[in-house]
Amino acid sequence: MSTPTAAEPGPLADLAPDPDLDLGLARPAVAVAALAAVAAVVGGGGWLRLAEASASALVARAVGTHDVQRVGTAVTFDLDGRAVGYSITLGCTVAFLLVPFLLAAGAVLTLQRASAPRTLTALAVAVAVVALTNQVRLLVILTGIRALGLERGYSATHVLVGTTISTVGVVSAALLFLALVTRGARGVRRG
């Protein structure tokens, strides 16, 4: 009995996932799925805002703010004997920040510019970076409110610092997405 060599890959080689998986006729379905994902994230954003508020409360508790509670899509905590906080509105959620990545992944998959596994991995990484960045932004807002009071803390951290954090996160996610999608990419032959 011989051991498999490079010229003789062995019986399990056919079972390994193809790194350049071609979606073939499924490509139109992928385009529709990308548009459906955009609609689910933007149109049905209530579930996403609830999830973000829950995550924000968990993150705040994990770093030592133990009186934080989620109330619907709001995160509340005690400040000088009264409940204050912030609400995850449609404008504050990651929903709109994810749309370009969902559309880009759908376009890449539909136009067969990169393999499906590589593109979906890049999408997952970009979504994780944007979601994590938004949680950092929300934690900064909470910390600013605690340190500077409701009005000053919210104003300072939501607009200036929050926008900077979001911008850095989205640009980082975009660069990672592009790097992962194009890593090892070969020219696609047509016809």
Question: What pLDDT score was predicted for residue 190?
Answer: 44
> What amino acid occupies position 173?
A
In the chain, what's the furthest Cα-to-Cα distance?
78
Q: What is the pLDDT of residues 136-189, one digit of tens each?
A: 999 999 999 999 999 999 999 988 899 999 999 999 999 999 999 988 655 554
Residue 45 CA to residue 97 CA, distance in Å, equals 12
Residue 72 CA to residue 67 CA, distance in Å, equals 16
What's the pLDDT band for 32 if we cut at 50, 70, 90? Answer: confident
Q: 26-59 burial, b for 16+ CB within 10 Å, e for fewer?
A: ebeebbebbeebbeebbeebeebbeebbebbbeb
Residue 10 CB neighbours (<10 A): 9
Q: Look up residue 82 and give its two tokens.
A: 């009264």
The domains of the chain are located at 25-182
Q: Look up residue 24 and give its two tokens.
A: 């073939």
